[in-house]
Structure 1
Amino acid sequence: MNNLELTDNVSAAAKRDIFELQKKIGAFSNDEGAEEAFRKYRLTRGVYGQRQPGVQMIRIKLPYGYVTADQLVRIADCSDKYATGNLHATTRQDIQLHFVKLADSPQLWADLEDADITLREACGNTVRNVTASATAGIDPDEPFDVSPFAQAIFEYFLRNPISQEMGRKFKISLSSSEKDSALGFMHDVGLIAKMGKNENGQPVKGFKVVIGGGLGAQPFPAQTAYEFLPEDQAIPFIEAVIRVFDRYGERTRRHKARMKFLLNDLGLEKMMELVQEERTALKNKVYPVQDIAYSWKNLGERVPLAKEEILALADAQLEDSEKELFQKWLATNVFEQKQKGWYGVSLRVLLGDMHSSTARKLADVMRQYAADDLRVTINQGYLLKFVKAEDLPALFKALSQLGLADPGFDSTADITTCPGTDTCNLAISSSYGITRALEVMMKEEYPDLIYNNDIKIKISGCMNGCGQHSAANIGFHGSSIKNKKLVLPALQVILGGGFTGANSEGQMGDKVIKLPSKRGPEAMRTLLDDYQNNAYEDEYFNQYYARQTKNYFYQLLKPIADLSEVKDDEYRDWDHDELFKTEVGVGECAGVMIDLVGTTLIEADEKLSLAHEMLAEGVWADGIYHAYNTFITGAKALLIGEGISTNSQHSMVKEFEENFGKTFYPEAGDDSKPFSQLVFSINKNEPTEAFARGFVGKAEDFLKNVKAFRAGQLAENSIPALQELVYGQDS
């Protein structure tokens, strides 16, 4: 392995992470350690295996999509040096780099950390990137800027012990207004900005809080936990929810491990009771959020220009061939901010892909015409802030030269898509190919769709929903259809998701019919024509869908799905010449349960070590949670050795007590439960120094006893080599 180069800008915590990643990669390359353990580890460091063997996707975590011009250049430099020169914007406001060598990932991470960019917890069973309305801070409809709250949530849960190894990933969004533009309805926790009043009747910031939303094969809309929660209680509430999810959430059946299933099983009332029980143990009972000193905060207001004045400026500065496109761009990609006289400018990016050379030039455009605050949008575009009205024509010209001035941002013609089979292990059919075909078709046949913001189209390469197809008015996900002895690439059509109107509640779409992928444009054409010809005046697409019912649309699309005649080309996917075949790899959206007792005990040692580190630093709550995980992991190791499977931490404790209680607590009576009482005392006590030291000490004693018990088992079975591997020279 090459020596790492880290600057003084890299924090001590990040340096530790990067050196540890390099060490783990070296061990894995030398065939040391279990592959699944390494996979689980690297995922939480943003290193994700691609469909292509031997290369990785690196997911760069950008809280609420915020990136400066210098950071954008650094990401572009890293893409050139370590990847393919492409920057892929995601629906979670991340940027991904593809085809990176595993051995290069530590230095890539170090280069990013030098610019204050992290990979930590961008993937894996962690709190993923915190998303927010891209317009936060400039949204004319917002009661306040949610950006500082998104940043605070990101910082609070980064490396937080309660969210490092959950049963599945956990997603949080913050919306600027009741329009829910960050799609809180499909998140584990969605916060929607709202003003309320305190006990003295004074206005206070807060949020409507929804929980338990999610996409995937079984999409669930979130349920309302609070109509209003004061802002200083938001982070403590999220922490309590995560603690409940960590303890009670499914850990064996991966397809049932998201929080939406736990909420569905428990019910909202019981879920909220368990959340309330966690409050005693919280590190912070309230957590007020400090404002952020963005560079644009002192820009002040300007005298607004009327549209006619802006067009007059364009007439004087643009060529005749540019003027019509400028008018479309002005109408669809530009809006006046809540700050008078300033404008936000949205950039439509096909497939979310931008070349590094374009990114560098965009950074220069930012420096010249906008604030140093670029936001990645949830529909895979970008947003510039604080553009002067008189600069709009020149900005348009500059963006046009970069291919970033296409009109119709976030319109029906602006399709959201995941990379699909181009890079993803889980994808079944091409997302990129059908997206290109649909956008070309709509541009040629339905040019006015750039003005329609009510119908959203989203595409995923599989049912898991990275393209958010279930939350779209018209959605597709990749699939396959068997016809005789051959298999066709297919699209599952989903209708009626997303929003009905500007202030409607978000909802999940219905699966209507499956049809060959090559017939996607025909299906889209049929849907658009039918809606245009038969909808009532001012009737939204979802209202029309609900009025006509699912069966109407099934019958409408059924002739397109008919396989009595199939052309040879339909056995080939978009952008592919070879015959289609389903090749789904092992998904990496979450870590897999490790089934090696020794490896699990090593994990328990690591958690105990972290507990002692937190005691040394005086962070009592984190030390307690690391100790709790020491109990859980130690118990899990012995249960694995006996072939006993459990589906949650709560059931794990019960199983351990039933199977090992007498061995570890021989003095206990038949009805007493000393292990569960000890472990679950975590949420019965304030996180004081006294409780933390006592709890960590008991975890240390417990782990010593577990290791001694396991050593005895190994000795009985004459496995000294494994014993040495697990316990080393110091045990």
Structure 2
Amino acid sequence: MSEEKIIEAERLKREKDGLDVRADIYRYAVDGFDTIDSGDFMRFKWWGVYQQRPNEGHFMMRIKVPGGRLNNEQFRAITELTTQYGRGFSDITTRQTIQLHWLEIQQFPDIFARLEGVGLTSAGACGDIARNVTSSPAAGFDPDELVDTRPVTDAIQDFFHLNKNFSDLPRKYKIAVEGSPIQSTVPQINDASLVAYRRQSDGVVGYHFFVGGGLSLQPHIAKQLDIFVPADEIEKIVDVQRAISECYRDASQLRKKRTRARLKYLMAEWGPEKFTEEVRKKLDWSPDAAAPGFEFSDETFRDHVGIHEQKQEGLYWIGLCILAGRWTDAQMNVVADVAQKYGNGDIRLTNVQNCLIPNIPAANLEPAKAELAAAGFAWEVPTIRRGAQSCTGIEFCNLALTETKLRIKDVISHLEMVTPEPYERGIKINMNGCPNSCAQHHVGDIGLQGCMATMGDGSKVEAFDIHVGGDLGKDATFTKAIHRKVPAHLVKYALANVIQNFQATRENNERFAAWAHRHTNEELDAILGVETIVGAPELPSRAEAVPA
């Protein structure tokens, strides 16, 4: 991004707070798309609204769903909007929200009213503001959780909602709250994270605070602050989060260059000791020091798919695999019906783009499963399908270079045929349509980054850089790029080569990431064998919406 555009972004925010654009949206809904001020297109993001490629009158919209939790009325309202305005499908995002497509400016007053009528909002779903707060998708019924994260998640969401003290941050701001000893909310790559821990000295469960995670072009692992707050001291927990956020908001050096405006760069400049000191200065009370003995779990990948017992005796949740996070309104209606008839009506969304239906008594499992299966849902699927993720892709996103939704389905379908169970943990494949890492390709076992490649005849084709070896948890590591600009239709064959080699040569039950990092890049490139793949059919470079 040029210096002129960087200055322009800050100028636009100074001229009008992004949250104030709502009144203009109502005006444009009457006056029409052609009357929209160019600066307001950027400000629309503060209300979850993006221009949709090819920018000819349509928008996509993210709805804020803290912790991925929806009651039945809320979920049905989103489903109705999907049918009426979204051409019959929506996407689950990697931040536990739902994204609608094909929206038009005149529809937004009705959309806002219907969302707010069921207690939902899109305010803060995008823009330079606190985004959707993610948390454990099984919060409140996970038998392994250390603490139910819902009270803290809701308190943080309430604090930032329409809070103009924090509506002009240097860039986006992502917060995660983790209550399980298996940290599936990927707290290490969020800007700010709260991670539950049982203090060994007195058995008190509380939260540690991590700051400065992030991916995109320069991935960073979050660093731990020297602060611990008991989980039931919610006001103090929010106060620490406020202080962290003020450090970010007031760091003027982050506003000089848009590509270096994330909180991770402030942590890299200050380090955890100074950051802790600055946070403590902003508190009028003294928090405990971090509890000794904490370390991240050795097992952080959990997709919640399948049928699982809840901590409430006699109740279960069904975790549905929604490959690429895309489902139809017909399928959404089935989920709503099953949740209402056989559970308590609630639905949960996960950051792996899957869906949970909780609180199902044992006697209701079989009829619930029958209705879900009839609608095309699956929960007993190979692990490689359960953990696959993809971003929006070129179908709708202005930043994307490649199609992703159709591609990830084609890749997974092929790999299931040739490597039906890669190994007991499952190989996580993250497909991104550009370098921005919305699908978190830096931390997948295999990460695919969209690009364009020039063929021998000079033609341009969609392609992917193939990365391998990402992992989170105790031994967190990022992927390493092995082969650049692999034509998209060859990717699935190269991945089959590497997975099959891993299966044949892994030692002592090692994980895929460990296996990848004990090989040189040259060895891994030879294993991918891109140049040796022949006769592979090519898929179309663009795709219409494909149901889950």
TM-score interval for Structure 1 and Structure 2 normalised by the shorter chain: 0.7 to 0.9
Q: Give the superposition deviation at 1:555.
A: 3.1
Q: Give the superposition deviation at 1:117.
A: 0.9
- For 1:228 and 1:275, locate their aligned partners in 2 and report how far apart those are by CA, in whole Å: 13
1:445-466 residue CA offsets vs partner (Å, 9 max, x unmatched)? 23335x7434211111111011
TM-score by length of 1: 0.65
Paired residue for 1:380?
353
Comparing 333-342 with 451-460, which one deviates more in the overlay?
A: 451-460
- After the TM superposition, which residues 254-403 of structure 1 pair with which residues of structure 2 at under 5 Å, given as runs? 254-279=258-283, 333-403=306-376
- For 1:394 and 1:453, locate their aligned partners in 2 and report how far apart those are by CA, in whole Å: 30
Q: Any gaps of 5 or more consecutive residues in structure 1?
A: 1-14, 287-330, 577-731
Q: Give the superposition deviation at 1:236.
A: 1.2
- For 2:255 and 2:20, locate their aligned partners in 1 and report how far apart those are by CA, in whole Å: 28
Distance 1:568 1:452, change over 3 A: closer
Query: One-letter code of the match for 2:482?
Result: V
- Does structure 1 retain, via aligned residues, the 8 Å contact 2:305–2:386? no
Greater C-alpha Rg: 1
1:101-137 residue CA offsets vs partner (Å, 9 max, x unmatched)? 0121122111111111101010100000000111111
Distance 1:401 1:262, change over 3 A: same
Query: One-letter code of the match for 2:216?
Result: G
Q: Give the superposition deviation at 1:40.
A: 3.0
1:118-170 residue CA offsets vs partner (Å, 9 max, x unmatched)? 01010100000000111111222211111221111111111112320111000
Q: Give the superposition deviation at 1:357.
A: 2.1
> Is residue 93 of structure 1 aligned with residue 96 of structure 2?
yes
Aligned partner of 2:481 among 495, 502, 511: 511
Aligned partner of 1:42 among 4, 23, 44: 44
Paired residue for 2:8?
none
Paired residue for 2:251?
248
Distance 1:505 1:30, change over 3 A: same
- Report the RMSD for the aligned CA atoms in angstroms: 2.7
- For 2:358 and 2:366, locate their aligned partners in 1 and report how far apart those are by CA, in whole Å: 15
> Is residue 419 of structure 1 aligned with residue 388 of structure 2?
no
Q: Give the superposition deviation at 1:505.
A: 4.4
**The structure with more helix, counted as a fraction of residues:** 1
**The structure with more strand, counted as a fraction of residues:** 2
> Is residue 455 of structure 1 aligned with residue 427 of structure 2?
yes
- For 1:539 and 1:402, locate their aligned partners in 2 and report how far apart those are by CA, in whole Å: 38
- For 2:540 and 2:219, locate their aligned partners in 1 and report how far apart those are by CA, in whole Å: 29
Distance 1:252 1:409, change over 3 A: farther
Query: One-letter code of the match for 1:420?
Result: G
Paired residue for 1:431?
404
- For 2:515 and 2:210, locate their aligned partners in 1 and report how far apart those are by CA, in whole Å: 27
- For 2:263 and 2:543, locate their aligned partners in 1 and report how far apart those are by CA, in whole Å: 37
> Is residue 405 of structure 1 aligned with residue 375 of structure 2?
no
Q: Give the superposition deviation at 1:43.
A: 0.8
Distance 1:528 1:16, change over 3 A: closer
Paired residue for 2:74?
71
Q: Give the superposition deviation at 1:410.
A: 6.0
Q: Give the superposition deviation at 1:393.
A: 1.9
1:466-525 residue CA offsets vs partner (Å, 9 max, x unmatched)? 1111121111111112235222211111211124xxx63443222222211111111110
Secondary structure at 1:478's aligned position in 2? strand
- For 2:452 and 2:138, locate their aligned partners in 1 and report how far apart those are by CA, in whole Å: 38
- Does structure 2 retain, via aligned residues, the 8 Å contact 1:191–1:210? yes
Distance 1:574 1:504, change over 3 A: farther
> Is residue 467 of structure 1 aligned with residue 470 of structure 2?
no
- Does structure 2 retain, via aligned residues, the 8 Å contact 1:153–1:235? yes
- Does structure 2 retain, via aligned residues, the 8 Å contact 1:396–1:405? no
- For 2:114 and 2:469, locate their aligned partners in 1 and report how far apart those are by CA, in whole Å: 44
Paired residue for 1:230?
230
1:658-683 residue CA offsets vs partner (Å, 9 max, x unmatched)? xxxxxxxxxxxxxxxxxxxxxxxxxx
Q: Any gaps of 5 or more consecutive residues in structure 2?
A: 1-18, 288-303
Query: One-letter code of the match for 1:386?
Result: N
- For 1:204 and 1:23, locate their aligned partners in 2 and report how far apart those are by CA, in whole Å: 52
- For 1:530 and 1:29, locate their aligned partners in 2 and report how far apart those are by CA, in whole Å: 53
Query: One-letter code of the match for 1:43?
Result: K
Aligned partner of 2:178 among 175, 178, 195: 175
- For 2:404 and 2:380, locate their aligned partners in 1 and report how far apart those are by CA, in whole Å: 22
Q: Give percent identity, aligned residues only.
A: 27
Paired residue for 2:53?
51
- For 2:224 and 2:406, locate their aligned partners in 1 and report how far apart those are by CA, in whole Å: 38
1:170-216 residue CA offsets vs partner (Å, 9 max, x unmatched)? 0001122232110001101111112237xxx7543311221100011
TM-score by length of 2: 0.85
Distance 1:432 1:26, change over 3 A: same
Query: One-letter code of the match for 2:259?
Result: H
Q: Give the superposition deviation at 1:413.
A: 5.2
- Does structure 1 retain, via aligned residues, the 8 Å contact 2:340–2:346? no
Secondary structure at 1:143's aligned position in 2? coil
- For 1:47 and 1:493, locate their aligned partners in 2 and report how far apart those are by CA, in whole Å: 31
